[in-house]
Amino acid sequence: MTDVLDPPVQLPPPPPSHEMLEEHGHDEHHGPTGILKWITTTDHKIIGLSYTVTSVIMMIIGGAFAEIIRAQLASPNGTLVSLSQYNELFTMHGSVMIYLFVGPFAFGGLANIMVPIQIGAPDMAYPRLNALSYWLYLTGAITMLSGFFTAGGAANFGWVAYAPLSNSVNTPGSGADLWIGGLLLTGFSAIFTGVNICATVFYLRAPGMTMFRMPIFTWNMLVTGILILLAFPVLTAGLIMLYCDRHFGTHIFSVQGGGVPVLWQHIFWFWGHPEVYILALPFFGMATEIIAVFSRKPVFGYKGMVFATLTIAALSLGVWAHHMFTTGVVLLPFFSIMSLLIAVPTGIKIFNWIGTMWRGEIWFSTAMLMAIGFLITFLIGGLTGIYLASPPLDFFTHDTYFVVAHFHSVVMALLMAAMGGLYYWGPKITGYLLNERIGKMQFWFLFIGTQIFTFPLYVLGLEGMPRRVAIYPHDPQWKTLNDWSTFGAILIGISTILFVVNVAVSWKKYPSGDNPWDAQTLEWFTTSPPPHHNFYRLPQIRSERPTWDHNHPEHRSLTHGKHPELTEDGLEKVHSS
Amino acid sequence: MKVEAKVLLYLGLFFGIMNAVYWNWSLENAGGVMMFAGMLLCFLPGSYYYFWSRRMKARPEDDPNATQTSGAGFIGTFPGTSIWPFTLGMGAFFVVLALVFGIWFLIPGLGLAVWALFGATAEGRRGGTH
Amino acid sequence: MQTPALPPQGATVRARRWRHLRRAVALPLAALALSGCTIPSFYASEGATSSSKSVYHLWQWFSIGAVIIGGFVCILVAYAVLRYRRKGDHIPRQSQYQLPLELAYTIVPILIVFGLFAATLVVENKETANPATKVTINVNAFQWGWKFTYPGTNAFVYGQTTQNPEMIMPAGENVHFNLTSSDVIHGFYVHDFNFSRYALPGVRNEFTILAQNEGTYFGQCTQLCGLYHSLMYFRVKVVSQSQYAAWIASFNNPADEAAAKAAAKTTYQQTSSVVPTHGSTTKFGR
Ligand code: HEM
Ligand SMILES: [Cu+2]
Ligand SMILES: [Cu+2]
């Protein structure tokens, strides 16, 4: 190692009267332990881990619902569950997966742990607010799921809760109210996490960590945070209106009192479409990091990537009514062109990922396989999204299995990226690697299972099978395709079991060291797991890859095919703007 | 601070233009109002950051040539542990249960919330536990 | 895709790259040519109305685009994955930007998107046009069934869940539809029309359909509307114009008139006598 960079400096000791950055090692010896430690912690890593574990449990619960749904559809006259149970199952499957798994896993789990470390911060900006987020999320999840234990069963109006089906006449009972209450709680938890991420990124970056040196994952989380703040309050307001309609006799969404049912759809999707990008952007970020690290190259087109993320955020606020094309009361051309345009930044990202791999040295670890699986599966989901953005094609496929297949391609891609994130960052969080053999098996089950699961659904949709039906007695020939899809779902289920097995098998077995992947960003500079306030020391930050620059000073990024100029003391010369 | 401000201001500007097109063309008020509010939500913090970015000198994290020593010093107060988020969370939980199972759940709900409010404030004054 | 370090080697690399590129474009086109010069259906179908056919063609063009773009990206990924697998502890060139390339894959997609949008507009305008018509059918959806009334005549059809009410409409003629709902949101969907529209409470949704092929088509509610949503079927029977006139005329006695008046006013609801038992082996006609 040459000394192109000056040696990492020790942070100065804290002044006596203040809580400071440095406070490591000894903190395990005092302070609460056990369950009390879990309840009172404000450490972003512990909160993030709680979020991660809770949301993976939610994924398993939601997955179990999905397997029951698929088993029911394995025959045209399935009798495994009743019609009303079926409605509860798909409602809770969608709700658990969207509200309680994908989002919280991304911004409450991995982002909560990684964003502060990636920018060299000691913790989130508001640690106690962060803890509150977790408690709201946990109680929200419990509230929503407890609907199953009420007399009328859980909510059964679909995860979108269209008015007037969701009013107190058509859906009486406390299951629906528990759904609304649970969603209010998790909604607030998301808002608080969004505030926290934005404030952390804006105020707690390490010296030299300029905005355009943040890792892509952190950039994406910042934009996700902004989108959360733009979108979630709308959902919260909508839920309160819905509750008032149900219990206080208002008629916001019901025709009888002069209300407008479609207003609910406007409100819901004004949150709902930004939400799909709130779900997607974190995983785009994870895949970006993984692909760069395992190709041993910088992110190709870093600035283009940031620009694409911002463009997606900008457009995502103007496309909500592509979910409402068939209402007949929205401005078709506007929403059509805006939705089509979102494909452009998405395409930029895909080409940048390929550019990152191009001429790299690709190491096929489980994390990398998951990221490539994500890339291919997301490509399929994105391309079918383009069809749906065209109103005539949407008229023809709306509310059929084609739409179900579209978003399952997308969200299964996100699941692959999520798994990649766990394999990639797991060692950083715990200090131990997961077993790669089982990991690769898990990947193949997940990837092949996903394609076998979604492809028949596309065809079924085109043959006219509507979504959210428990039986299809008039078209028994659909059984074959449904069986294939069920088979794919079983493979996906096996992959989930393999993941759990892997965690059990590898438990504290394969110590990872601090930087097992020769990774690039700041979180790999500290120990695994990181100390209480994350860093004992920080390297000089001169690019978006401080750890790589420190480990491979002779292999810095060639900004435009050229090596950067160096100053006399060996530091990269940067012209401050 | 400049980049942060610009990100928000440009987003807000885009929402403003998009909304001008949308609202005038569709005459649909719900989306128009929500998008307008989105624009304001970007302009509010964006203009605040912009205002300050022009008045203060670059912070170490905005300086591409900053060394680690230049940023050393007091960063902020980070409470080690605190029971109050949990208390407040439970309070919120009971308040929501009151929406479903009856008004009497408000008693523990608001009780816990108010208790947490006082507790957290007092803790903040002391500079955090641990 | 950067300028290679050594010119001679670079030349071969570039030639190889071209070959790959050409193959990427040629493959899907060859597949098209092989399929007998007719464009494949991509699992959709032509349908029975004039606009369903336009939608079908739009579908085909979108699909061709998707296959080409998707295939191109897949080939790039496959090439990268196969060609650049890690062989040793070598650290590759750390190149990061390639502005012309980045601009190309920004601008080309924008052009494609505007092309798709233009094609969309053509079909969309055709589908949402509301020309003057002679025949009007009022469709009213309710939990869980359909009522079809024919304003200006005594004809009406209604039925719930498993009863499969059959809407009669003439072929070769624009028919105007007024779609309403008396309770929650339902979806009026006829697969062979390649078309669906919500039945919204408080809104009258209007559209025009020109059926071209006679026959009986299956329809179903597609928007979740409660317990028996899975069973909210109907049929559409497209008949010749003379058959249609005869059918309308068959309602021409005073009893029918009274019944039609009453039906027009009634808001139907599911009656327990036709509530299906779940999992029954009832045969559903198609
Ligand atoms: C290229 C980008 C995309 C485009 C153009 C697109 C377009 C669409 C359209 C037009 C619909 C409405 C279909 C209908 O209901 O008839 C839809 C549905 C949906 N999309 Fe996408 N989409 C894209 C990416 C995504 C992403 C990234 C996600 C998730 C992370 C996603 C998740 C969903 C979901 C969950 C639904 C179904 C909502 C429901 O339950 O009705 N999409 N998409
Ligand atoms: Cu959307
Ligand atoms: Cu229905």
Q: Domains in chain A, please, with CATH? A: 45-555 (1.20.210.10)
In 3D space, the residue among A448, A452, A336, A339 whose CA is nearest the CA of residue A405 turns out to be A452
pLDDT digits (tens, 9 = 90+) for C71-85: 999 999 999 999 999
Q: Which protein residues are within 6 Å of ligand 1, measured from CB?
A: A 160, 276, 279-280, 322-323, 339, 342-343, 346, 382, 385-386, 388-389, 394, 398, 403, 406-407, 410-411, 414
Rg (CA), chain B: 22
Which ranges constitute the DSSP H helices of A248-301?
261-295
**Partner residue facing C2 (CB), from A301, A329, A561:** A561
Which residue from C minimizes the CA distance to A82? C278
Q: Do C273 and C222 share a domain, yes or no?
A: yes
Q: How far apart are CA A372 and CA A363, in angstroms?
A: 12
Q: How far apart are CA A327 and CA B68, in angstroms?
A: 57
For residue A160, give the ligand 1 atom closest to its CA.
40
Q: What is the share, in percent, of chain A residues with pLDDT greater than 90?
A: 75
* pTM of structure: 0.90
Q: Do C64 and C189 share a domain, yes or no?
A: no
In 3D space, the residue among A532, A526, A540, A523 whose CA is nearest the CA of residue A20 turns out to be A532
Q: How far apart are CA C144 and CA B115, in angstroms?
A: 51
Contact status, residue A543 vs residue A556, Cβ threshold 8 Å: yes
Taking an 8 Å cut-off on Cβ atoms, the answer to whether C230 and A469 are in contact is: yes
Q: Do C167 and C239 share a domain, yes or no?
A: yes
Structure tokens at B11: 């987003």
Q: Where is the domain boundary, C75, C109, C128? A: C128
- Residue A395, chain C, CB below 8 Å: the answer is yes
Structure tokens at C262: 């009453």
For residue A265, how far is its CA from the centre of ligand 2 (angstroms)? 12
Q: How far apart are CA A131 and CA A137, in angstroms?
A: 10
Q: How far apart are CA A380 and CA A407, in angstroms?
A: 10
Q: Do C107 and C161 share a domain, yes or no?
A: no
Contact status, residue A456 vs residue A482, Cβ threshold 8 Å: yes
Cross-sheet strand order for the sheet of C186-190:
C166-170, C233-239, C215-221, C186-190, C195-199
Q: What is the pLDDT of residue A372?
A: 96
**Partner residue facing A317 (CB), from B15, B63, B93:** B15
Which ligand has the shortest distance to the CA of C186? 3
Domain residues for the domain of C192 are: 135-283
Q: How far apart are CA A274 and CA A207, in angstroms?
A: 32
- Report the amino acid identity of residue A311: T
A319 DSSP β-pair partners: none
Q: How far apart are CA B106 and CA B98, in angstroms?
A: 6
Is residue C232 in a domain? yes
Which subunits sit against A, judged by 3+ Cβ pairs under 8 A? B, C
Is residue C5 in a domain? no
For residue A325, give the ligand 1 atom closest to its CA.
16
Q: Do C141 and C46 share a domain, yes or no?
A: no
Structure tokens at C79: 């090439």
Q: Do C142 and C236 share a domain, yes or no?
A: yes
Q: Do C72 and C117 share a domain, yes or no?
A: yes
For residue A384, how far is its CA from the centre of ligand 1 (angstroms)? 9
For residue A408, how far is its CA from the centre of ligand 1 (angstroms)? 9
Residue ranges of domains in chain B = 2-63, 84-126
C179 DSSP β-pair partners: C139, C205
- Chain B residues in contact with A207 by the CB 8 A cut-off are 60-61, 63, 66-68, 70-71
Q: Do C256 and C272 share a domain, yes or no?
A: yes
Q: How many domains does chain C have?
A: 2
Say how many CB pairs under 8 Å bridge A and C.
277
Cα-to-chain-centroid distance, residue A47: 17
Q: Is the pLDDT of residue A329 over 80?
A: yes
User: What is the CATH number for C255?
Assistant: 2.60.40.420
First to last CA, chain C: 56
In 3D space, the residue among B7, B68, C2 whose CA is nearest the CA of residue A298 turns out to be C2
Q: What is the pLDDT of residue A233?
A: 95
Q: Do C59 and C176 share a domain, yes or no?
A: no
Is residue C4 in a domain? no
Instruction: Using most ligand atoms within 8 A of CB, pick from A223, A270, A322, A415 the residue to mutate for ligand 1.
Output: A322
> What is the predicted ipTM?
0.94
Which subunits sit against B, judged by 3+ Cβ pairs under 8 A? A
Buried b (16+ CB within 10 A) or exposed e, A326-338: bbbbbebebbbbb
Burial of B100 (0-12, 13-18, 19+ CB in 10 A): buried
C186 DSSP β-pair partners: C199
Q: Do C256 and C171 share a domain, yes or no?
A: yes
Pairing label, strands A537-538, A9-10: antiparallel
For residue A279, give the ligand 1 atom closest to its CA.
30
Q: What is the pLDDT of residue A447?
A: 97
Is residue C20 in a domain? no
Q: Do C117 and C207 share a domain, yes or no?
A: no
Q: How far apart are CA A167 and CA A157, in angstroms?
A: 10
Q: How far apart are CA C96 and CA A166, in angstroms?
A: 51
**A284-to-A34, A59, A315, A548, C141 alpha-carbon distances in Å:** 36, 19, 17, 21, 42
Contact status, residue A404 vs residue A467, Cβ threshold 8 Å: yes
Cα-to-chain-centroid distance, residue A218: 13
Contact status, residue A445 vs residue A491, Cβ threshold 8 Å: yes
Structure tokens at A225: 């945070």
φ and ψ at residue A293, rounded to 5 degrees: -65, -45
pLDDT digits (tens, 9 = 90+) for A344-402: 999 999 999 999 999 999 999 999 999 999 999 999 999 999 999 999 999 999 999 99
Is residue C50 in a domain? yes
φ and ψ at residue C280, rounded to 5 degrees: -65, 165
Tens-level pLDDT at each residue, chain C (286 residues): 343 333 333 344 445 555 555 555 555 555 555 544 588 889 999 999 999 999 999 999 999 999 999 999 999 999 999 999 988 888 888 888 888 999 999 999 999 999 999 999 999 999 888 888 899 999 999 988 999 999 888 888 888 887 889 999 999 999 999 999 999 999 999 999 999 999 999 999 999 999 999 999 999 999 999 989 998 999 999 999 999 999 998 888 777 777 877 777 777 777 766 666 544 434 333 3
Is residue C26 in a domain? no
In 3D space, the residue among A130, A191, A120, A25 whose CA is nearest the CA of residue B81 turns out to be A130
- Residue A360, chain C, CB below 8 Å: the answer is yes
